């Protein structure tokens, strides 16, 4: 099995500013995710966080990333537009993207979806059941019929996303809501998975089943095909002979569009 | 039948700078489209162009628009980002959007798609056959098996778009290319249709069948449902009684997210 | 507005064999649905039931039906295969189909889906919240954020259906399940809507909001486009002149395939 | 890499009845496909044909098949309904299915699609260009922008299929048609790929690029996830405590539905 180069991106703000979050994630959410993913020897892990230069997501880092995971919440606006555009571009070229929890309002995710990505929410420490609705999907490997979380933030519908290509999980909340909590899209050559559990004040990323879903998603999201270079202007010389034969009637100079 | 308020947006640059284009569209592409659409008494037509203040797309105009058609080519970059975002927002709220020809690289379309929207092209005045691949779709009403255009600019695959919700037309080009030339998407509450025929140096918008497709698309794209106002923070008071009974465990202040 | 010709099909078995069901639906489920739909003057209603010749769904009746609603449960196997195939064929030609509750295992629905259409279930009279997840969709007109049903049969995931083209409702159940309760598909030229609330031992079809959804769905599912007749063998004479010019190289006799 | 167990199914009628076909495929279409696939050591190949008992597709064979390829044309009606249903069922459980050329009218494919699967056709030995429209898709690995076939049977739109989950190829034909020639669907836990090139009177399966696409498709279609066994009746004991607490109001006996 080829190695999969994974970059775990974390905003890493709450863990420094809130004692409660630091208690749950003393090494940061990224640290907990990295520890869990070290169980998979085929993953080559790298960490990147908001306060690094270019948020740790230079052109070189992204070039060497097969799958990027993203957790952000308090500081979406601090992400540089150029970096967000660079992430979007790499996804279109084939990099996988796993967007976690409050990352639904992150710049890269919103740029790729084209929609509001808004949702409803309530923080009441209530029970969540993350239902597998697609038991043949590779992201559900090793998961039984549902994952139950005793204390979770409620995310509710309507969730302002384009219709997913594949629906993997839908969550039930004790307080009466439902939520499309595990959704797949393809954009360009890249695969995108959004997974909603993971509020910073609950130890959700310590849950082995949640960790398993994220590991599964990384495997699912790795680049699948060619990395295509497509010429955008097609010379007339490549066209069928009949066009060539009749003398072309060229009205334009040609060249690369846009 | 309720009136449908249509705003026809045109960049209106080529018609002023190129004699050949002016000869084909002396009133501008928008003028030709408006003339054609006047055959439908239920349509309330309005024109807007790039060089007007706010490109003619003020908040008030968009509020009063049910369907917006968009033609642009030479000056995509001159469209103000705030206006592009406003168009995107109105689509998410339910306004229909018909994107024509080179509008595939326009800011509103790219923002809504989230992808490159690139394509391949060749200008050789070749024959195009726009095939109906979905004969039950309302956008094909009155169209037989295909529309044949004697002289057309070739657009070719791969076209950098998300998979359409419905594929209506695929074009054949004499020189050997194919192109997904009529595609539907839904984003938020809005319907989007992209239709590729329409290069400015060919009289394509004078073709009655092309006009019919655009009129059909306007009818298809009109707002369909409620204009929803959804509260984004859901008070605990609305949740099931059990959560209330056990004392809430509130960790956050609540409020509107994002 | 053109009239929409609606045929309400009901198995009509439980109402005759179970006193409790008869008490709730003394005129049959079809009678209750018809009473509710009479509020819409543009609907031309017709009733058909299992025990009529050809189940009331002769070729002529289906020819004159724009939208068919289907409720069945105890006697799916008694539906004649030829009638099920006829319903399927009419949907492909453009007839709308609204499948209600236990109709998920009906022959026409399973033939159109191609999947098991199985689900999980529990009958415990529990509370159901039918959430609107797509507030701009026309099937949600007049419905607020959710419909609450005090006593409902629980249907649960996984639901063995192809990914819907549009997801309109997802249900929450008191006992801990979720279910994709309102789903749209397009097959051929026909629109299909599945709506799960409606167990025969609860008065769910007397609920005005449930009635509203069904009326909305009928309007949504009406035929949209041309009724296409497509020749399946394409004579060489219609092909481009180059093929004709070089003498055809015909290897087959032609004729209609399949 | 785990071995992938592939069963190559061929009707094997034309090769025996038509000298021309036998000349091109002296070992049968299945023999040519098997020879090509032997280049992939991870594939465990098996052959099955129509005239064997149960068409070579016993319950045991299908249990041991990860991906089934299907070529049929003259004798679709001779395929036993029970075998067609068994193939459908195995796809829903996770077996991949690659349907080739005239297999579009085969019983298993039509059962899985739920639509007519009809298309238009013309046999004139014309040129076909199979365009890659999705260059990041794994089925396109090793394929440049298109595959050109000098002599091919024309298949044309409209093709009576449900909208594909992913569109991989669209073909251009010299005579003026287009066709969705490479299409992916997911049904249940199984992946389905339809690939149109392959008329029996042209040596198309000897083309290394066509062989590469089929090999890619087999890899793509292999089972991805768990093989799920889902209980269809959910006992009340598994439900939330509140339902249990209030005394259940059970109206039914429970048991497995359908």
Per-residue model confidence as pLDDT tens digits over A144-197: 999 999 999 999 999 999 999 999 999 999 999 999 999 999 999 999 999 999
* Rounded Cα–Cα distance for residues C156 and D233 (Å): 9
Q: Is B254's Cβ below 8 Å from some Cβ in A?
A: yes
Q: Which residue of B has its CA nearest to C219?
A: B224
* Rounded Cα–Cα distance for residues A117 and A157 (Å): 11
Q: Is D129's Cβ below 8 Å from some Cβ in A?
A: no
Q: Which residue of B has its CA nearest to D166?
A: B163
Beta strand D43-49 with D4-10 is: parallel
- Which of A136, A139, A187, A137 minimizes the C-alpha distance to A161? A187
pLDDT at residue number D257? 27
Q: Please answer whether residues C61 and C21 qualify as being in contact, where contact means their C-beta atoms are separated by less than 8 angstroms.
A: no
Residue in the block written with tokens 């060619």: A226
Q: Do B135 and C228 touch (CB under 8 A)?
A: yes
* Rounded Cα–Cα distance for residues D39 and D6 (Å): 13
pLDDT at residue number B257? 28
Q: List residues bridging with B194 in a β-sheet.
A: B99, B183
pLDDT at residue number D35? 98
Q: Which residue of B has its CA nearest to A76?
A: B258
Q: Which residue of D has its CA nearest to A127?
A: D240
Sheet holding C43-49, edge to edge: C43-49, C4-10, C67-71, C96-100, C190-195, C178-187, C166-173, C120-132, C146-156
C222: three-class secondary structure by DSSP: coil
Q: Is C158's Cβ below 8 Å from some Cβ in A?
A: yes
| Nearest chain B CA: its distance from A250 CA (Å) | 5
Q: Is A226's Cβ below 8 Å from some Cβ in D?
A: yes
pLDDT at residue number D227? 59
Q: How confident is the model at residue B67 (pLDDT cuts 50, 70, 90)?
A: very high
What is the torsion angle, in degrees rounded to the nearest 10, for the CA atoms of residue C111, residue C113, residue C114 and residue C118? -100
Q: Do B230 and C145 touch (CB under 8 A)?
A: yes
pTM, entire model: 0.94
Per-residue model confidence as pLDDT tens digits over B121-163: 998 889 999 999 999 999 999 999 999 999 999 999 999 999 9
- Which of D119, D245, D228 minimizes the C-alpha distance to D173? D119
Chain D residues with CB-CB distance to A93 below 8 A: 136
- Among the partner residues B124, B248, B257, nearest to A236 by beta-carbon distance: B124
Q: Do C239 and D92 touch (CB under 8 A)?
A: no
DSSP output for B103-127: GGGSHHHHHHH-S----EEEEEEEE
Q: Which two tokens stand for residue C174?
A: 């008191």
Chain A residues with CB-CB distance to B76 below 8 A: 258
| Nearest chain C CA: its distance from D31 CA (Å) | 23
Q: Please answer whether residues C65 and C6 qualify as being in contact, where contact means their C-beta atoms are separated by less than 8 angstroms.
A: yes
pLDDT at residue number B248? 44
Average pLDDT over residues B81-98: 97
Per-residue model confidence as pLDDT tens digits over A68-127: 999 999 999 999 999 999 999 999 999 999 999 999 999 999 999 999 999 999 988 899
Mutate to test the interface with A, among D175, D225, D241 (most CBs of A within 10 A): D225
* Rounded Cα–Cα distance for residues D156 and D133 (Å): 17
Directed axis angle between helix B208-221 and helix B28-37, to 10°?
A: 80
pLDDT at residue number C8? 98
Q: Do C252 and D123 touch (CB under 8 A)?
A: yes
pLDDT at residue B30 greater than cutoff 70: yes
Question: How many Cβ contacts (< 8 angstroms) between chains C and D?
Answer: 163
Instruction: Write out residues in chain C with pLDDT < 70, as ranges.
Output: 1, 226-231, 237-238, 242-258
pLDDT at residue A228 greater than cutoff 60: no
pLDDT at residue number D238? 73
Q: How confident is the model at residue B246 (pLDDT cuts 50, 70, 90)?
A: low
pLDDT at residue number B250? 39
pLDDT at residue number D110? 98
Q: Do D172 and B172 touch (CB under 8 A)?
A: yes
Q: Please answer whether residues C230 and B145 qualify as being in contact, where contact means their C-beta atoms are separated by less than 8 angstroms.
A: yes
Q: Please answer whether residues C142 and C212 qualify as being in contact, where contact means their C-beta atoms are separated by less than 8 angstroms.
A: yes
**Those residues with Cβ within 8 angstroms of residue B80's Cβ, 6 or more apart along the chain or in another chain:** B54, B55
Q: Do B226 and C186 touch (CB under 8 A)?
A: no
**Those residues with Cβ within 8 angstroms of residue D160's Cβ, 6 or more apart along the chain or in another chain:** C92, C188, D115, D116, D117, D118, D119
* Rounded Cα–Cα distance for residues B24 and B17 (Å): 13
Average pLDDT, chain A: 91
Residue in the block written with tokens 């026409």: C108
Chain A residues with CB-CB distance to C177 below 8 A: 131, 172
Average pLDDT, chain B: 91
pLDDT at residue number C104? 98
Q: Please answer whether residues D9 and D56 qualify as being in contact, where contact means their C-beta atoms are separated by less than 8 angstroms.
A: yes
Tell me which H or E stretch contains A210.
helix A208-221
Q: Do D172 and B171 touch (CB under 8 A)?
A: no
Q: Is A249's Cβ below 8 Å from some Cβ in D?
A: no
pLDDT at residue number B244? 72
pLDDT at residue B235 greater than cutoff 80: no
Q: What is the ipTM of this complex?
A: 0.93
Mean pLDDT, consecutive 10-residue stretches, chain D (258 aa), reads 92 95 97 98 98 98 98 98 98 97 98 96 92 95 94 94 98 96 97 96 96 98 77 75 60 30
Q: Do C166 and A163 touch (CB under 8 A)?
A: yes
| Nearest chain B CA: its distance from A40 CA (Å) | 32
Q: Is B158's Cβ below 8 Å from some Cβ in A?
A: yes
Q: Is B114's Cβ below 8 Å from some Cβ in C?
A: no
Q: Which residue of A has its CA nearest to B231?
A: A120
**Those residues with Cβ within 8 angstroms of residue C60's Cβ, 6 or more apart along the chain or in another chain:** none
| Nearest chain D CA: its distance from C192 CA (Å) | 12
Chain D residues with CB-CB distance to B135 below 8 A: 158
Q: Is B126's Cβ below 8 Å from some Cβ in D?
A: no
Tell me which H or E stretch contains A44.
strand A43-49
pLDDT at residue number A66? 98
Q: Is C137's Cβ below 8 Å from some Cβ in A?
A: no
Directed axis angle between helix A208-221 and helix A28-37, to 10°?
A: 80
| Nearest chain B CA: its distance from D16 CA (Å) | 36
Phi, psi for residue D198 in degrees, rounded to 5: 140, 35
Chain C residues with CB-CB distance to A135 below 8 A: 158
pLDDT at residue B251 greater than cutoff 50: no
Per-residue model confidence as pLDDT tens digits over B14-25: 999 999 999 999
pLDDT at residue number C75? 97
pLDDT at residue number B228? 57
Chain D residues with CB-CB distance to A240 below 8 A: 174
* Rounded Cα–Cα distance for residues B249 and B251 (Å): 6
Chain A adjacent subunits, 3+ CB pairs under 8 A: B, C, D
Give me Rg for the CA atoms of chain B: 21
Give me Rg for the CA atoms of chain D: 21
Q: Other C-beta atoms within 10 Å of C105: how many?
A: 18
Chain B adjacent subunits, 3+ CB pairs under 8 A: A, C, D
CA atoms within 13 A on the CB side of A40: 23
| Nearest chain D CA: its distance from A10 CA (Å) | 28
DSSP output for chain B: ---EEEEEEE---HHHH-HHHHHH-TTHHHHHHHHHHTT-TTEEEEEEETTSGGGG--HHHHHT-SEEEEE-STTGGGS-HHHHHHHHHHHHHT-EEEEEGGGGGSHHHHHHH-S----EEEEEEEEEEEEES-TTSGGGTT--SEEEEEEEEEEESPP--PPPSEEEEEEEETTS-EEEEEEEEEETTEEEEEE----TTTTGGG-HHHHHHHHHHHHHHS--S------SB--GGGS-HHHHHTT----S------
pLDDT at residue number A252? 35
Chain A residues with CB-CB distance to D186 below 8 A: 166
Chain C residues with CB-CB distance to B138 below 8 A: 224-225
Q: How confident is the model at residue B2 (pLDDT cuts 50, 70, 90)?
A: confident
Q: Other C-beta atoms within 10 Å of C89: how many?
A: 17
- Which of C139, C126, C134 minimizes the C-alpha distance to C211? C139
Directed axis angle between helix D28-37 and helix D208-221, to 10°?
A: 80
Q: Please answer whether residues B14 and B198 qualify as being in contact, where contact means their C-beta atoms are separated by less than 8 angstroms.
A: no
pLDDT at residue A250 greater than cutoff 60: no
Q: Is D188's Cβ below 8 Å from some Cβ in C?
A: yes
Average pLDDT over residues A209-218: 98
Q: Please answer whether residues A22 and A30 qualify as being in contact, where contact means their C-beta atoms are separated by less than 8 angstroms.
A: no
pLDDT at residue number C55? 98
Question: How many Cβ contacts (< 8 angstroms) between chains B and C?
Answer: 66
Q: Please answer whether residues C198 and C23 qualify as being in contact, where contact means their C-beta atoms are separated by less than 8 angstroms.
A: no
Q: List residues bridging with C183 in a β-sheet.
A: C167, C194
């Amino acid at each position: 099995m080829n190695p999969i180069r994974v970059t775990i991106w974390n905003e890493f703000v709450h863990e420094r500013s809130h004692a409660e979050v630091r208690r749950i994630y003393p090494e940061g959410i990224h640290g907990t995710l990295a520890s869990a993913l070290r169980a998979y020897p085929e993953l080559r892990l790298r960490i990147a966080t908001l306060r690094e230069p270019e948020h740790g997501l230079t052109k070189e880092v992204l070039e060497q990333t097969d799958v990027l995971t993203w957790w952000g919440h308090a500081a979406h606006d601090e992400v540089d537009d150029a970096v967000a555009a660079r992430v979007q571009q790499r996804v279109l070229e084939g990099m996988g993207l796993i967007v976690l929890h409050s990352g639904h309002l992150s710049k890269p995710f919103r740029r790729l979806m084209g929609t509001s990505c808004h949702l409803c929410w309530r923080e009441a420490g209530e029970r969540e059941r993350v239902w597998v609705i697609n038991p043949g999907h590779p992201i559900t490997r090793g998961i039984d019929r549902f994952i139950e979380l005793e204390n979770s933030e409620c995310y509710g519908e309507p969730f302002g996303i384009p219709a997913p290509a594949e629906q993997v999980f839908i969550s039930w909340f004790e307080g009466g809501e439902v939520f499309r909590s595990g959704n797949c899209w393809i954009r360009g050559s890249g695969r995108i998975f959004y997974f909603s559990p993971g509020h910073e004040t609950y130890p959700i990323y310590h849950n082995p089943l949640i960790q398993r879903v994220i590991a599964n998603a990384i495997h699912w999201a790795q680049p699948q095909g060619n990395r295509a270079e497509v010429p955008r202007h097609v010379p007339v010389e490549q066209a069928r002979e009949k066009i060539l034969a009749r003398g072309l009637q060229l009205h334009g100079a040609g060249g690369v569009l846009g």
